[in-house]
Structure 1
Amino acid sequence: MSNIYIIGAGTIGRALAGVLRRHRRDVVLVRASEAVPPSLLRLRVVYEGVPIEEEVAVCGLQDVVRFDGVVVVATKSYGNAALAGVLKDKVGDSPVVIMQNGLGVEDAFLREGIGNVYRCVLFATSQYQEDGGVVFKPVTASPIGVVDGRADILSSVVDAINTPVFPFAGTPDITPIAWSKTIANCVFNSVCPLLETDNGIFHRNEEALGLARKIIAECVAVAELEGIRISAEEVTARLLLISKASDGQLISTLQDIRSGRPTEIDTLNFAVARAAEAKGRDVPVTKALGELVRLKSLALMLVFVLVFLGCRGPVKDGGRVWHRGPVWVPVLIRVWRRVRIWGWVLVWQPAPVLRRGCFRSKACRGIYWFFGAVFRRYTRPMVCILRGTVCCRCTTGRRR
């Protein structure tokens, strides 16, 4: 297992690749989302304020004929079905380590008949810097367990990617740990993006922690129905540990929303909600927060798309710079007027669910305030875009 292939060049993939190269491991960073020619990429990973700069081999997934080492999947979970379809003819007997958050992230690989599948529960955070580097903070050693494969090579798999900077450890049963971490992620990946704040909010703010306890209580009850014995106090302690260790770091879902990318909320809040429904139970707060995150993600992705489609080139007028829109603008104006109305309905529809449990908390009121601000802020600019002109200097959507 001398070669290590890391599929996914996001923040975690880059951090792991840079750290492994620093410890003289043979690493190849494989891009799954785009075709790139084989080349060398200089990575900059900041760990405890100290930069780690290394050159790593990079290639596209289409350039790999056969994997002959450990394969680490560090992509987003929403692309697992397509990725598993490509990997089934390339991995052979190579161990595949799935380094993703959520429940059932390994199912797509098992359906394709891929053997030697291992699950890693990640206890580390990372985010991009303005210069393109990655800030990396490990919380504790990330456990790796067998999902479907050979248990006798688990220690070899762990040793291949384990380093003092980015530590890993083997575990005989990964399922309870995966559930515990998923519950913590249901908190981080819904509350932090909605409040536009960093991971440290829960150890700094008692009201945010109170909302987290409600989510944890709902999810732990579902885990018990699945036969997973987890203590709510244990999950809360782990959540606070992560919150303190990653204070100042932004959760991946918030980074995805700000970049106009899809989120992993389907394998977190909605995965727990589906498990609850299968057992005849309801998780109203967890599901409602997931719906709000999905709505926020779709709203901002729509802004990115409309800005991209609506710009046909700059036009100077009265000291301002405008962008002309496409010729089909009048039709979309009528569509947007209806979307704007239904947007309010979708935002406030979960309100009674949350109001029954925690509407008195400032954190929950902040969620309502934020979504009111989202639609107040983006309604006028988007109508302005559809009419065909957007002022590059003005964010209020003033028309020409």
Structure 2
Amino acid sequence: MEVVIIGAGALGSLFGGLLAPHARITLYTTNSEHARAIQQNGLLLTTMEGEQHSLALPVLTGPEQYDRRADLILICTKAGATGAAAVTAQQLLHPEGLVLTLQNGLGNLEQIAACVGRQRAAAGITAQGATLQAPGQVRHAGNGATVLAVGPGQAAAIAAVVRLFNRAGLEIRTSDDVDSLLWSKLIVNVGINALAALLRVPNGTLVEAGACRELMDELVAEAVAVARALCIDLEYEQQLDRVHQVCRQTATNRASMLQDVLRGRPTEIDVINGAVVARGQEVGVPTPVNLLFTRMIKALEATAAQRIST
């Protein structure tokens, strides 16, 4: 299978490394330093057991560098780059290919479908954790299931993706309910990302420390209440258990929003906790804790240049 991964940051690089022995993988990144490191030295993948593997993978920085057409394109960019990634995917995709978003937040699938067509756009969620340690170097920081939504006319294409992930030894399942799937992923991010970024702790700390867990539980409760008001049937206890489970499975991982804050980059707060606030306003569900966390992360972003370091 011909696979292009657009957004070869932490998660995109991880999937590139894990799938490389089983498919023809090409990475696509706008990070020139990361691309140059991979071109010169290969992608260095550190497994959860501490083993290191150097993988010679082609890496693109522009669509004109690709002379084939991809059967599968994984989009792993930040949500703010979805529009540009969708345009790139349209240029690289085989007429019968599939674009699969594994991104955080809401609204990504709709942007991709508007560009490549609804039948060629699919969404999934993943509990895999990754940390980009340096340009060209990624660490597998947490292992968990990947779940793909099967849209109309997508059964054969999704089945091929499932077979690929199975060959790579990755846990993968499918679902017929895309809204519940995306909201369940959103709720995991709502509970973990902003809290980890503000406290600057790895995921496991959030479930180990009682004070952290109480805040996480309040964030999740608000998100579930909004989802249920939108007629998305999610049970609070089940969702809360899943958030706790992901924290334990990725205990040593630095959440993506924490990695953004530490690097002084814009975060995805608007499509995570901010999305809960916005949807809550639409359906009349108050979300004061998510609003506070959204405002706090925006304050962190606004003051990145003035941060006091030890």
**TM-score, length of structure 2 as denominator length:** 0.89
Residue 228 (structure 1) aligned with residue 229 (structure 2): no
Q: Are the counterparts in 2 of residues 105 and 267 from structure 1 also a CA contact under 8 Å?
A: no
1:5 is aligned to 4
How far the C-alpha of 1:24 sits from its partner, in A, is: 3.7
Contact 2:206 2:247 in 1 (8 A): yes
Q: How many angstroms apart in 2 are the aligned matches of 1:176 and 1:151?
A: 18
Deviation at 1:40, TM superposition (A): 6.6
- The answer to whether the Cα contact below 8 Å between 2:42 and 2:57 also exists between their aligned partners in 1 is yes
Sequence identity of aligned pairs in percent? 24
CA apart distance, 1:61: 3.0
Query: AA paired with 2:42?
Result: R
* CA–CA separation in structure 2 for the residues paired with 1:190 and 1:86: 29
Q: Aligned residue for 2:42? A: 42
Partner of 1:58: 59
Tell me which amino acid in the other structure corresponds to 1:43. Answer: L
CA contact (8 A) 1:117 1:149 kept: no
| Residue 282 of structure 2 is aligned to residue 278 of structure 1 | yes
2:28 to 27, 30, 33: 30
Task: Give the letter for the 2:14 counterpart.
Answer: A
Please list, as runs of the form range in 1=range in 2, the aligned pairs for 1:1-400 lying within 5 A after superposition.
2-21=1-20, 23-32=21-30, 39=39, 42-47=42-47, 48-62=49-63, 63-64=65-66, 67-91=69-93, 92-114=95-117, 115-129=119-133, 133-147=137-151, 149-300=153-304, 302-303=305-306, 377=308
Deviations 1:103-126 (A, max 9, x none): 222121122243411111011111
| Whole-angstrom distance in 1 between the partners of 2:236 and 2:51 | 36
Deviates more, 1:207-216 or 1:171-180: 171-180
Aligned-pair distance for 1:169?
2.4
CA distance in 1, matches of 2:168, 2:90: 32
> 1:156 deviation in Å?
1.1
Q: Determine the C-alpha separation between the residues in 1 that align with 2:283 and 2:111.
A: 22
Contact 1:39 1:59 in 2 (8 A): no
Indicate the SS of the match to 1:86.
Answer: helix
- Which runs of 5 or more residues in structure 1 are unaligned? 304-373, 379-394, 396-400
Instruction: Give the counterpart letter for 2:72 in structure 1.
Output: V
Give, as a single letter, the amino acid of the residue that structure 2 aligns with 1:93.
E
State the match for 1:363 in structure 2: none
From the superposition, tell whether residues 58 and 41 of structure 1 become closer, same or farther in structure 2 (CA, over 3 Å): farther
Equivalent AA in structure 1 for residue 210 of structure 2: E
Aligned partners of 1:164 and 1:34: how far apart in 2?
28
Cα deviation code 1:149-194 (max 9, x no counterpart)? 5233221122234444443322222321221221121121111111
Amino acid in the other structure paired with 2:265? R
CA displacement at 1:95 relative to structure 2: 0.3
Give, in angstroms, the shift of residue 89 of structure 1: 4.0
Residue 275 of structure 1, CA deviation:
0.9
1:318 equivalent in structure 2: none
- Supply the distance in 1 between the matched residues of 2:195 and 2:188 (Cα, whole angstroms): 11
Contact 2:264–2:301 (CA<8 Å) still a contact in 1?
yes
Shift of 1:86: 3.5
Higher mean displacement: 156-165 or 172-181: 156-165
Q: 1:361 — aligned with what?
A: none
| Deviation, structure 1 residue 217 | 1.1
SS at match of 2:56: strand
Hey, what does 1:313 align to over in structure 2? none
Distance 1:133 1:291 in 2: 32
Shift of 1:42: 0.9
CA distance in 2: counterparts of 1:88 and 1:225, whole angstroms:
35
The 3 A distance-change label for structure 1 pair 283 and 164 is same
Tell me the TM-score normalized by structure 1.
0.70
Unaligned runs of 5+ in 2: none
- Cα distance, 1:59–1:222 mapped onto 2, change above 3 Å: same
Task: Give the AA of the match of 1:61.
Answer: G
Distance 2:165 2:213 in 1: 34
Distance of aligned partners of 1:41 and 1:298 in 2 relative to their CA distance in 1, 3 Å threshold: farther
CA radius of gyration, larger in: 1
Amino acid at match of 1:196: R
Comparing both chains, which one has the higher relative contact order based on Cα–Cα distances under 8 Å and sequence gaps of 6 or more? 2
For 1:317, the equivalent position in structure 2 comes to none
Mapped partners of 1:267, 1:149: distance in 2: 28
Whether the 8 Å contact between 1:118 and 1:148 is mirrored in structure 2 is no
Aligned mates of 1:153, 1:110 — CA distance in 2: 15
